[in-house]
Copies of this chain bind each other. A is one copy, B any other.
């Protein structure tokens, strides 16, 4: 690791420049280092980075790589901060960043979908819809607004609105195969299939799934479904105030709300520490020489800001009758466990919205909350309308810097250290409490604070998203984070909770728990990509023996 990357032959560099243009190739070591920085405690560096602009350029790159026998590591924008970003699982090779392929090819107002390239960001798609007066909403993730819509979907990322299942809303892909051919998924006749972005299952075996968390091809274009703006939108802000002994009942009641579609958004239940990351800066003064906060120090800090044990928001969507139902149920069920406030009006562009925004600081003060609660109110509500923001991803700087920056957020570039693991857990009190207990124990063991968000995935499962923040520039701290990561991952797998996403640290072994599936995929990989040129080692599919892998 961290060996100086081998330079590519001048001949190959020349070919890359001929394909994408001189401004699309980085091969100078400093430049390569800068654009491939990572937040996770594992770093490799490619020999070059290329930025294609067109499908044809991607096809030519695949062919040039094959001729030179140099692997390609494609990423959309690579802003999956804390999961591995643009880091290949091996040294050297060529990293392909698709951010310049950023065309919104088509938006269909009537049928509710867009066809986009992998460089299209949440902000770009949302701005486009707003500026064209579209009736459609896109979903977005809680991450940076500059992340790739398709990249997140292909990594099975999650949003918050009723369209939160990003991969589930992908329909119909164009994929450059390792041999350079362009595959159009969805059956029908190539170039003449009116329903390839409308009907998910196509004709014959469904291929879209093969290209999620995959190295079998490069997705260069796809359809993504969008939702029409609902007649009524509202937002419930909830704080869990009951004791820990009632958390299990709350989890079960929450599942029933989703099952009965009284809850249509997919909230992230932030624990106190996760909420503090959003609201505040790490209180180093409370550490008392420890590596993480003591129980009592954390409690003191929490109280200062007026943060509850669990906090989250939920969007309400639908006709007036439907929203009335949702309100009735949320009030009834959430009311048993804490405080629920319906504050969707705060984003309305009228006198009432202005009034709510005006009185919010006073109300928060009366409730004993810090002013930062008011700062995040509007961006939080907007997330539930699919409007992306960098407000929440600023938490990446929470421990690494004295002050979170206000603009130009890029924690990978700026040396923030953090890493995520998100086991998928059955949506029952028994399983969720067990996963939380396991997490607490492992974080305790490795002396990390207990940061967790319980992400509602569906009525049937949740993702228990756990993160740690560490000092990237301190090798001992990085080693501690790495040890935590492997330990946590192993513990979740042991308990039957597979992480929904691997990172550059866990990809090569991602399928080791299921050898039949791993070998089945490896045999497909061997025939589709016999030289193993596309992202070798991604999600359990074999590394190239020649590559300098971890």
Q: Which positions in A face B, CB cutoff 8 Å? A: 110-113, 156, 167-168, 177, 181-185, 187-190, 192-195, 198-214, 216, 225, 228, 231, 255, 259-262, 318-322, 324-325, 328-329, 424-428, 431, 457-461, 493-500, 502, 510-511, 513-517, 520-521, 523-524, 526-528, 539-541
Contacts and interface: CB of A to CB of B under 8 A. Distances in A.
Contacts of A524: 524, 527-528
B515 A190 contact: yes
B426 A184 contact: no
A457 B199 contact: yes
A199 to B, nearest CB: 5
7 contacts: A156-B201, A193-B514, A203-B539, A204-B517, A207-B210, A210-B210, A322-B322
A426 B209 contact: no
B193 A498 contact: yes
Contacts of A431: 194
Nearest to A182: B516
B111 A426 contact: yes
B325 A496 contact: no
A252 to B, nearest CB: 8
- Lowest 3 A-B CB distances belong to which pairs? A206-B209, A189-B513, A188-B498
Contacts of A216: 205
B112 A199 contact: no
Contact of A203 (B185, B187, B511, B526): B511
A81 to B, nearest CB: 20
A495 B540 CA distance: 41
Copies of this chain per assembly: 2
Given A185-B517, A516-B181, A210 B205 contact: yes
A424 B195 contact: yes
A494 B188 CA distance: 10
Contacts of A541: 204
B208 A204 contact: no
Given A203-B213, A203-B510, A527-B527, A425 B517 contact: no
B460 A540 contact: no
B198 A205 contact: no
B228 A190 contact: no
Contacts of A260: 228, 231, 319
Contact of A111 (B110, B231, B427): B427
Contact of A460 (B113, B189, B231): B113
Contact of A209 (B195, B207, B329): B207
B112 A498 contact: no
Nearest to A498: B188
Given A228-B260, A426-B111, A201 B194 contact: no
Contacts of A499: 203
A205 B212 contact: yes
A549 B473 CA distance: 67
Nearest to A261: B318
A218 to B, nearest CB: 14
| Chain B CB within 10 Å, residue with most, of A113, A168, A205, A511 | A205
Contacts of A322: 261, 321-322, 325
Contacts of A460: 111-113, 195, 198-199, 225
Contacts of A111: 255, 426-428, 459-460
A76 B181 CA distance: 36
A202 B168 contact: no
A497 B528 contact: no
Contact of A520 (B156, B207, B494, B498): B207
A154 B510 CA distance: 27
Contact of A428 (B110, B211, B425, B510): B110
Given A424-B199, A527-B526, A510 B204 contact: yes
B426 A194 contact: yes
Given A194-B431, A228-B260, A201 B167 contact: yes
Nearest to A319: B325
Contact of A199 (B262, B329, B461): B461
A192 B231 CA distance: 44
Contacts of A329: 319
A181 to B, nearest CB: 5
Contact of A497 (B194, B202, B228, B426): B194
Nearest to A213: B204
A97 B540 CA distance: 35
Nearest to A195: B424
B459 A112 contact: yes
Given A520-B177, A521-B205, A198 B513 contact: no
| Chain B CB within 10 Å, residue with most, of A203, A328, A500, A526 | A203
A195 B113 contact: no
Contacts of A213: 203-205
B190 A514 contact: yes
A532 to B, nearest CB: 14
